[in-house]
Chain A
């Protein structure tokens, strides 16, 4: 069973530049925890603080309740997988994987057994005696993964491990990582800027921006109920429309471009009648209806047929462009410059406060 990691109010400074200010979070035992955010958001910095490459200016990091701030990296018993693999170019696959066991002075027979077992688990036995230069990027990344987990670390840390691989390999390797992580049940902290990867692989995601965790949640919640405008636009695509909310006898009503609709249940605290809001609608949450039906009047400007679905680019009355994804069926593609009416899948959309940019959707909705 894995260990827990408690990050308590940590701060990272480079000179006068504060990269992370008072960040706290708890990572559960055996969890696959992802730090997701744009470059420069502090996610790699935080990861490197956990393993000890970066110093911690303030705050504490505890592993299973034990303070690790002062422990040097080589005594922390954490495995790390690097963006550029960092496979030792002068050692064979076997020597690479055995390196961490050698530093731990594991007996020769025991070491051989562990290395073989690991190579089998990661499926690179046949490359055992090859040099890294004879391996593809994906194979090198497997070696790096094997090398990091053969030492049975308490924590596995991965810094954008897939970003140097091509798209197809990325999907394959992400499944390998997920499978192995499940199998050995190790607490894993994973850093990526690729939201699709994060959604696919994680138990929980912490979305970071400017050194601050914006939201920590399951992939599904992050996508469907983003806690603020940043998360909504960073994860997936969102069309943002200006609108307002209005008190009504049974529930709150919302309006955008004159189209009135019923949003999901709202947090009522402090909400005023006529409050300006930002309506966040994902492309698949729009429905195209005939002109004249209720909805936002719009004109189809162009369309792209992608097989599984059909993308429309429409212009709203104020000139704003929105993207709509429709299922492709056998009916005709709507010709360019056709006026239509845009409706929404009302229970799926999200509303944000215009000033605070925080979600107005009630918890659990």
Chain B
């Protein structure tokens, strides 16, 4: 008997150590390599901070940092305000078609930001559709298109507010309506009630989701690359340093990676501190319900919600429609309908882009789900110093930008025995590592809802510990896991920042192909790929709603 339980204990221990080893190799070791490279003198091999001093003493570099902060802070603030307003209005006012709107808003979020950038260029760029109309209608104005700071902020704000919207809408769902009613009965009118009750209560959620937006915006290089023109941001410099054909300095790039990580780390901890002090556990017996309001308020609300959703969706619509149009010169679409863009891309001979996207995505999801569920189970039910360490380690990728993970992987996994660069495996692992923290957090929440006594009941009835996990806990977790897996799938297939660094010609995915085609000015092809990506996301999202019966999602 004793021997038996020892064996069981050692099974979980073995599993813990195995997963820990995987994380050491695929998360810790690559990051250490980045740190190491950033302070090593490439010639002498000694310790040097030359890379860092070079960055901080040259105006060219420090300016990019200032630009990045400006863009990020402004875009995050606008996103937060938009997201908060959208969530509050849709939760408190009856909006026609709100379910469809909800899906559309999510869809607008589920594409890499740079697609927004290139679509907005086609609308508001130098030769953009809207630019031409404006200049034709208002003679004398010479609107040169939206580039630089304004363009970047526009794209990021519209692309990021859905995330804050989703989180805040979820938080409002947990806010009991009696709090509103209590404020009302105490004499508070609407503006006062919103400012003194609603805003403070959802503030922690706004901050937490703003952090995600901040990190996403701060580390995104695709958007400023396309629409920034002269306005250089930090990630652009990082990407150019690492990928640039003219200058490429591994050691300097490593230093840039370290700077990037430090910044996101600082923001992560600041946000955690602020949120923790102001977090209230709330559960709503009776959540707020959208109410009938006066005609004026209703018209204003509808106008605002529809306008914002339309703006957020505009890039997608632009891309989908141009995918069926003939291009005369790059970026200039005629009104001739054609399927050429599709014939040239996804159905072309030897085009493995879609197959790659699906295979890598599914492989990554399987990895994420299996390991993620095990880690959350271990951390929740088999708590020990080792499992807690594991739990903390797995959170690392949450705050490390995708491009840094990509670069770190190339530094660490490009030599025997781990010669993985250029393979599909390295992309799959990068995708899995990036998504892991989200899956672990959602599975931990799911396990938290299952009472341990259910498992104990199974054990008391004669099931072994493993059997009770397999036959009781796991089946109970399954619906939640499935929901999480679909969401992971949707985010994984639109991942760009690490795959763009890790891809080779034969391991291109949809997002990478879109980016590559845009850079090569093959806008038609990009539009075709992009449409396939959007269709996949929308179908997956519909599948998610149908399978789970949920009305809301969390990413």
Contact = CB atoms under 8 A, between A and B. Distances in A.
Given A84-B176, A103-B192, A90 B185 contact: no
A133 B280 contact: yes
A74 B200 contact: no
A78 B188 contact: no
B89 to A, nearest CB: 20
A76 B181 CA distance: 13
Given A73-B184, A133-B280, A133-B281, A86 B189 contact: no
Interface in A51-107: 51, 53, 73-80, 82-84, 86, 88-90, 99-100, 103-104
Given A82-B181, A82-B182, A84-B176, A90 B201 contact: yes
Given A103-B192, A133-B280, A88 B187 contact: no
Contacts of B281: 133
A76 B197 CA distance: 20
A147 interface: yes
A100 B200 CA distance: 17
A355 B59 CA distance: 96
A292 B348 CA distance: 103
A151 interface: yes
A78 to B, nearest CB: 6
B285 interface: yes
Contact of A88 (B179, B184, B185, B189): B179
Nearest to A85: B178
B187 A151 contact: yes
Interface in B266-320: 278, 280-282, 285
B280 A79 contact: no
Interface in B109-159: none
Nearest to B190: A74
A84 B178 contact: yes
B183 interface: yes
Contact of A99 (B178, B186, B201): B186
A247 to B, nearest CB: 56
A314 interface: no
A148 interface: yes
Interface residues of A, number: 27
Nearest to A90: B200
Contact of B182 (A75, A76, A86): A86
Interface in B164-180: 176, 178-179
Contacts of A73: 181, 184-185
A88 B197 contact: yes
A151 B186 contact: yes
Contacts of A51: 185
Given A74-B189, A133-B280, A86 B184 contact: no
A100 B186 contact: yes
A79 B183 contact: no
Contacts of B189: 74, 103
Given A53-B181, A90-B200, A84 B285 contact: yes
Which of B176, B185, B196 counts the most A-chain CB atoms under 10 A from its CB? Answer: B185
B25 to A, nearest CB: 42
Contacts of B282: 89
Contacts of A53: 181, 184
A48 to B, nearest CB: 9
Nearest to A150: B186
B155 to A, nearest CB: 34
Given A84-B178, A86-B178, A90-B201, A79 B185 contact: yes
Interface of B: 176, 178-179, 181-189, 192, 196-197, 200-201, 278, 280-282, 285
Interface of A: 51, 53, 73-80, 82-84, 86, 88-90, 99-100, 103-104, 133, 144, 147-148, 151, 157
**Which 5 pairs show the lowest CB-CB distances between chains A and B?**
A100-B186, A86-B178, A89-B280, A103-B187, A86-B182
Given A74-B188, A79-B185, 16 more contacts: A73-B181, A74-B185, A75-B187, A78-B185, A82-B181, A83-B178, A84-B176, A86-B178, A90-B200, A90-B280, A103-B186, A103-B192, A104-B187, A144-B182, A147-B186, A151-B186
